[in-house]
Structure 1
Amino acid sequence: MDRNLALEMVRITEAAAITSARLMGRGDRKAADQAAVDAMRRAFDSVPIRGTVVIGEGERDEAPMLYIGEKVGAGWTAIAGVELMPRVDIAVDPLEGTNLCATGQPDSIAVIALADDGKFLNAPDTYMNKLVVGPACRGAIDISRPPTWNLHAVAEAKRCRVEDLTVVILDRDRHTVLINEVRRAGARIRLISDGDVAPAVACTQPDSGVDLVMGIGGAPEGVLAAAAVRCMGGDMHGQLAFRSQDEQDRAYKMGIKDPDRVYKLEDLAQGHVMFAATGVTDGSLLRGVRFYGGGASTHSVVMRSKSGTVRFIEARHDFERKPASSGLRSSH
């Protein structure tokens, strides 16, 4: 994949972030999500790729969402130069943390990842048990072992005490046992209400204050997180956690033959990977969208696994010159 695609991905996440940020705190998660989806779709139209959504917001053609199997990018409609536009897998969450945006809480982001064709796990819309760490702990974790074992392994790899570690866990009833064990081990916990992609990315950054992400969240979000972790040289294990036989049957049709398989990082995201995210609300990794007269500012991160480069991008958007950036149609 051409490295210039990384900047194109940032333009897409910026558009989704700006549009959904206009609905921050309005209490309407569906409207905010829809705004992000519509902005992403428009932005994809000018990107020189033949993209297929393999991680999206549904497994069927549930328009208006970006669904699994949807074709995006200029390569599907172009008359000339199609052979020069790469075929890529796309993992996308136009608004990760819809509830966070709707209530104005931290760490809502617009996020997208690209991989070479066929290199993302085609994860079904189910749950995944996840364990995510940064580069210092690569090779030290094992999701098949108890949480306490992993906490001690991470502490040893980071040359610190377990008491110095901060673990991010979704605040859900299903995590009562996990939370109690982590507390008994002595580690600190940051409970979050929604959105585990941003914390997974944050734990790959040495100064983010996040050391691990543990627990069960969405499987699609797990693949998105894996893309970022691959770029940063961190580590991640995942294991699908089906909520019903129907989900397991659908996963089988998507190629998941072993429902108990432990997926390593390279199983989730292979080959050359790109990851981009733009903050919608302020968070541990990115600042949210700030509006001012006639424009807005955004804060984004973009990563490439091939080079290991991580860029944080601050941008100012002039709505007079580029009305589409405002999420509003031009009146001219």
Structure 2
Amino acid sequence: MPTRNQLLQVIHIQSELAKLGLDLGGVMQFIVEQTLSLIGADGAAIELAERGDMVYRAASGTACPQLGLRLKIDKSLSGLCVRTGESLLCEDAETDPRVDLEACRKVGLRSMVIMPLQHRGITIGALKALSAQPGQFGQRDATLLRMLSDVVAAAMYFSVKYSGDDLFIKATHDDMTGLANRALFMDRLRNAVALTGRDQKSAGVLMIDLDGLKQINDNHGHRVGDAVILEFAKRLERVTRELDTTARLGGDEFGIVLLALDNKKCIETAAGRIEAVNQQVFNFEGNDYEISASVGAALIPSDGTEPEQLLDVADQRMYSVKRRRKERRKRGLH
């Protein structure tokens, strides 16, 4: 049986979940983060079943780099959990014939415990805890994880029922802007990398930081800051193609996955369009606010073929642009 402290922690998690309301993305991320300390896991994830795949839609700990990862539903233990609606325990991935051994080795996991997430009587995903050590989890851990899976499944149900949105839209899009969220962005980035490998075409990723948002929040309030974020999101959508994925990654951070690029100049043109669309000031409640953004780009495959590597390259270039802008402002230049 779970210990008293563990049961108290579950009660605390349940009370904190209630404060998140209908924010499905926030609910899922909170659950995977709390799972780490609750049962001593190295990583945790919520995978949703989408069109024959199990997709990592929330992740914490060692599972974070796998956000957006897709595994075939009929070749993974999480997929078996969804197909049967039963909780599953894997003591050692090296000897368990049910697992995708190659995927387990890539992530570095040896043991895991998985609970089904049921929505309106249908299992639509799974809550998974994982460890780099074999035999890490037992029935006590399964009991605790079942308590969390019941809570998150209920939260998912009410989030969808009262928001009027489709479950997968809420799980993959930012509540404020309606843009893709980080989970969907990583999913599309992984797909872009895979496509360049198969089709021998280029793709790209842009990392974008909205300049001066903190100052706007400090000087004019968060309501004005939120209006600036929404306006910036609309401007990004106006200058991106339908085949591209525009995402709000959190706070003032945005990203775009660009597909089917002919050459490096195409990604530079895309960054230039973002610069151009922000030349016009934003008028909100009779006051004008300047909107600008720092953009960093990485080209696939010339700058890398691993999502984390590409994001690092684009991030470094974005911060380089931001530093140059700050230096120019100090010198009184535009």
Return the structure number with greater helix share.
2
Instruction: Please tell me whether Structure 1 or Structure 2 has the larger radius of gyration of its CA atoms.
Output: 2
Structure-2-length-normalised TM-score: 0.26
Higher relative contact order (CA 8 A, sep 6+): 1
